[in-house]
Structure formats: C-alpha cells, structure tokens
Structure 1
Amino acid sequence: MLKTINLEEGFPTVEQARQKMLRELDLARRAGHKGVKLIHGYGSSGVGGEIRLSVGRALQEMKRHGEIAFVIYGENWGISDPDTWALLKLRPSLKKEEDLGRKNRGITVVWF
C-alpha cells in the first residue's frame, strides 16, 4: 500500500508543511517505498487551502524534473482518471486503497 504522510499534523505553517513534505518524500524513497499519500487538507472552512496549493506547486515542479512519476490529486484519484488508471495497471494492489474513488481534495497520491 501507500505510506501516509500527514502534513497537517501540528498545524504547521505553509513553509513548514512544504519542508516536511520534501523531507518525508526523500525518506520514503530511501526506505524503498514506491508511493505515498500526502494528507494536506483543502481549506474546508471556505478559506485557506494554502498548504494544498503549495504542495501541488512543489510536486508539479518535481514531476517536471523527473523526480516523481505520478502526482494524482485526491479529486482525481479514481479509475476514470488516466494517470490513476495507468498507475493501477502497474500496481493493481492500489485498487484497495481506502481513498480511491472518494474525490478527497485533502490528499494527493505521489508515485516515484
């Protein structure tokens, strides 16, 4: 399954959450994990969501540089999404992942 990294824990600033993400992604890769699920929230109170936006920008940059293979936002984490489907074909065991198909905007799936 996916290693879960909670970026909201402890109510960090946006920069603290971004730094934690970078650190934890590096540790996960070194430990041999193939993918992770980031929990970043989505600003459900009608304001905020800054961590989600910052994480998304950083992940897209990492993808552009070839550091990660897939970035799948929670609202797209379902079988109708082309990237999700491609990943599920590579790793069928991910079909059992609890957030698959739930359109959870508070998470992002990252595959190395």
Structure 2
Amino acid sequence: MMTICHVCGNEREAVSGSCPYCGNTQPETENKPEKPFVHKSVNLEAGRPVLDVALHRLTEVIDDAILNKVAVLTIIHGYGSSGKGGVIRSECRKTLDHMKNSRLIRDYIAGENYHKRSGQVKSLLQRFPRLGSDANLNRNNKGITLVIVS
C-alpha cells in the first residue's frame, strides 16, 4: 500500500519507516492511508451569465463539493472587462467570505495571492502536496479563486 510523504509529497510504501526521497521518518499514525485528494475546477463565466445566475452556480457547486468530499475547488469567475475587476468576481468573493464566516467552507484564496511565498498557500501545499503542480500556482491570476472546502 502506498501513502504520501507529508514532507516532500512523494508516494512511498506505507510499511517503510522513512521516505526514500527525503529520508523523513513518519510516526505510525501518519503512515495510515490518507483520504483521496479531489480537486475540481468550475467555470462560472461559461455562457456569460448575469450575476444572479453566476452566484447561484457558485452555491450549487460548493454544495455539491461538500456532498462529494471535494477538498479544493478552483472557481473561474473571470476578471471582468472593465480593467478593474468585474462584478461577478467581487460578488463571488463576498459570497465566499460569508460562507467562510458561516463555516460552510474552510477558506478561500484569491488567484492573485495563490503563490508559494504566501503563508496561507504554504500551509495548503503541506496539506495537499499535489497542488504544487497546479498550473495556476504563481500565475497572479485575478480571474480565479481557490476554495478550500474541507
């Protein structure tokens, strides 16, 4: 049986005491198989919806992610054509802020803050090492938001 090293993120044999890649030894409690990591991307701007439709899609997608145990969602809301950020982007983030305060989601990270220098992202990468190969990482993409569901 394979497990993920919590230091380097490589797969390793669960029965071995140390990781063959980084040499880190992990306590027995950490050798248990982890829950499968599920990362899903959703394009809210598909079809150029009006604000109400986009926000309805957002809540449906998050409800579905909770039911299906999706760990991280990448929400594509677009930046907006005005050059200063669109209304869908800002209202999605307000809705996510409300959901976070209501404890419906764990957290969210704006695309422009999704880089390895961020403490919040470093913590996320420790929990989910596979996000280290995410194409949006370090791109300063203002048209997306990552939602940490669980």
State whether TM-score is above 0.5.
Answer: yes
The one of 41, 47, 61 aligned to 2:78: 41
Computing the radius of gyration over CA atoms, which structure comes out larger, 1 or 2?
2
- Aligned residue identity for 1:80: R
The one of 121, 124, 132 aligned to 1:84: 121
- Report the alpha carbon displacement of residue 26 of structure 1 after superposing the two structures with TM: 0.7
- Aligned residue identity for 1:6: N
Q: Which runs of 4+ in 1 moved over 6 A?
A: none
Question: Does the CA contact (< 8 Å) of 1:69 and 1:111 recur in 2?
Answer: yes
Q: Which is worse superposed, 52-61 or 26-35?
A: 26-35
Which residues of structure 2 form unaligned runs of 5+? 1-37
Find the aligned partners of 2:84 and 2:127 in 1 and give their Cα distance: 37
Aligned: 1:16 with 2:53: yes
Find the aligned partners of 1:19 and 1:75 in 2 and give their Cα distance: 24
* 2:146 aligned counterpart, secondary structure: strand
Percent identity of the aligned residues? 36
Find the aligned partners of 1:58 and 1:48 in 2 and give their Cα distance: 16
* 1:71 aligned counterpart, secondary structure: strand
**Equivalent residue for 1:54?**
91
**Equivalent residue for 2:135?**
98
Deviations 1:64-112 (A, max 9, x none): 1111112100000011112111111111111011100000000000011
Higher RCO (C-alpha under 8 Å, 6+ residues apart): 1
Provide the TM-score with structure 1 as the length reference: 0.93
The one of 63, 68, 80 aligned to 2:105: 68
Which residues of structure 1 form unaligned runs of 5+? none
Provide the TM-score with structure 2 as the length reference: 0.71
**Equivalent residue for 1:109?**
146
Deviations 1:21-79 (A, max 9, x none): 00011112211211100000011442661000000000001111111112100000011
Find the aligned partners of 2:136 and 2:101 in 1 and give their Cα distance: 26
Find the aligned partners of 2:54 and 2:95 in 1 and give their Cα distance: 11
